[in-house]
A and B are shown apart, each in its own frame.
Chain A
Amino acid sequence: MDKTVNQKAWFLVLPVFLVVAFSAVLPLMTVVNYSMQDTFGNNQFFWNGVGWFKELLDPSTDLGGRFLASLGRNLFFSLVILAIEVPLGIVVALSMPRQGWTVAACLVILALPLLIPWNVVGTIWQIFGRPDIGLLGYVLNAVGIDYNYVSNDIDAWVTVIVMDVWHWTSLVALLCYAGLKSIPEAYYQAAQIDGASRWAVFKAIQLPKMNRVLLIAVLLRFMDSFMIYTEPFVVTGGGPGNSTTFVSIELVKIALGQFDLGKAAALSLVYNLIILIVCWIFYTVMTNAGNERKPQEGAA
């Protein structure tokens, strides 16, 4: 089923193009413009060339130090998140009930955290973790663990990570569940006849079938955790000190807090470039996977 070439299809795409161009290209031009200039307020701008970019990538300056530190924290955060959420999501997807009303109930509860506004997610964990009024903080302190996410770096990190696991593991689980559902019953029967062990079934049947959805899950989670802003901002405000200040938080601080337009714009561009590269890898892998899939379907 090959697609036909039809240039008139552009008319169908035009509305999308206009809407997204209006919200994406125009603001991006502003950012590029700012990134080359310096301002002392009063709408007076001075040409600064690539000055901000040099400063940004040089760890010895204030701006560069802050950017690279938050970038490092953010990468570490994203890796920890992936290492926890992906295996946990697979296990949860494998634990889904087979049939009956419990399936719908589990799906709804799983999806619930995904639909809570991000600042409310922050609020929930801010309250839940407080040693004085939150269940988690209270219980932890009651059993003798000195836990306080406001003053202790490690506690703040643990809180932010557990919060993200709470918030997003369901996404991985739902994706894997969708992948598992697409496996025909005959595969399992064949495995049973062959006397395959549980682990062999997982490795030879379930995991390969989940490949594509897992890829989507990993990349969505990487990118979303890489631009996380609201939840940690509500819970820790980037603190204690700067210990949970991620790139987005740093950027908003510079842009809307200090109104350092040039610095913020340069940071934005570099930040966007990183996302764009990851996104390109994602897209290439996705489309290749799609191409490989088609002949297989024809054969089956």
Chain B
Amino acid sequence: MHSIPGRRFIMGLFLIFLLLPIYWLVNMSFKTNSEIVSTMTLWPHTPTLQHYKRIFTDESWYSGYINSLEYVVLNTIISISVALPAAYAFSRYRFLGDKHLFFWLLSNRMAPAAVYALPFFNLYSAIGLFDTPWAVALAHCIFNVPLAVWILEGFVSGVPREIDETAFLDGYSFPRFFIKILVPLIASGIGVAAFFCFMFSWVELLLARTLTSVQTKPIAAIMTRTVSAAGMDWGLLAAAGVLTIIPGALVIWFVRNYIARGFALGRV
């Protein structure tokens, strides 16, 4: 009763639609450039690993991945650690200005990154953080912290209030209750929130590119270098693209059962 007639056909068609462009990228990353430009082949006839080899041996390439991962991880840690206590507060207490604060947080999740690109550039240059992973990590907080608060608040609200009360009656101090009891109870929620912070920081490019120049260029910005005097290096571009998909594909496996709930901001 859950599903509609012809569902296998529809699902199959949609999955093919999703996978075909990705397949084409993977396909191209294993081709030599001459094969890409000269012929139309559905699979690599002379498969080569030269593009991947170049990325893994050329420091200017692989350092891009390290830079990206650096600010993504930094951002995830900052976002989760500040969002956890706030999520608890929003879930359990009523306080002066709580609703307005919540709305203000949400409005920052929705703010267009393009609006902030230039002021961020000025701000982080002024305080000397420009071109460090910290600049990007802090800048991404503007949309990741509100998101983390929203998701975690949903999960904290799922924990019965009696558990808090029992713990306090048993003589737990607040920090001890928080770390020993609450955090393990919403571990899956923290996982989902961390996943979403990771994801949105990983896919964002505009701010990351604006706030870095030489030292900490993200991989996304380095990819634009494949345009050279000899024309586009399509194979290299495709290989770099494939490698950016892998971290996401890996983490997705761990949260597959919670993905939907996370996208609903913990509110299903």
Contact = CB atoms under 8 A, between A and B. Distances in A.
A175 B115 contact: no
A108 to B, nearest CB: 6
Contacts of A15: 81-82, 85-86
A251 B114 contact: yes
A171 B264 CA distance: 9
B17 A166 contact: yes
B115 to A, nearest CB: 4
Residue among B2, B36, B120 facing the most chain A CB atoms (10 A cut-off): B2
Interface string B81-95: 111011011101111
Contacts of B122: 27, 30
Contact of B263 (A98, A174, A230): A174
Contacts of A13: 85-86, 89-90, 95, 101
B40 interface: yes
Interface stretch (B4-12, B45-53, B55-63, B183-191): B4-12
Interface in B87-108: 88-90, 92-96, 98-99, 101, 103-108
Contact of A30 (B24, B28, B123, B145): B123
A265 B36 CA distance: 44
Interface string A261-288: 1001100100110011011101100010
Contacts of A145: none
B95 A7 contact: yes
B118 interface: yes
B77 interface: no
Instruction: Categorize the interface residue count of chain A.
Output: 35 or more
Contact of A180 (B2, B138, B205, B219): B2
A143 to B, nearest CB: 14
Contacts of B6: 95
Interface of B: 1-8, 10-11, 14-15, 17-22, 24-25, 28, 36-37, 40, 42, 78, 81-83, 85-86, 88-90, 92-96, 98-99, 101, 103-108, 110-120, 122-123, 138-139, 141-142, 145-146, 149, 161, 199, 202-206, 210, 219-220, 223, 234, 237-238, 241, 244-245, 248-249, 251-253, 256-257, 259-261, 263-265, 267-268
29 contacts: A6-B95, A8-B95, A15-B86, A16-B85, A16-B145, A20-B105, A20-B142, A91-B4, A95-B4, A104-B256, A107-B256, A107-B260, A115-B249, A116-B244, A117-B202, A117-B204, A120-B223, A123-B237, A123-B241, A128-B25, A133-B36, A175-B264, A188-B2, A201-B1, A216-B265, A252-B114, A275-B111, A280-B103, A283-B106
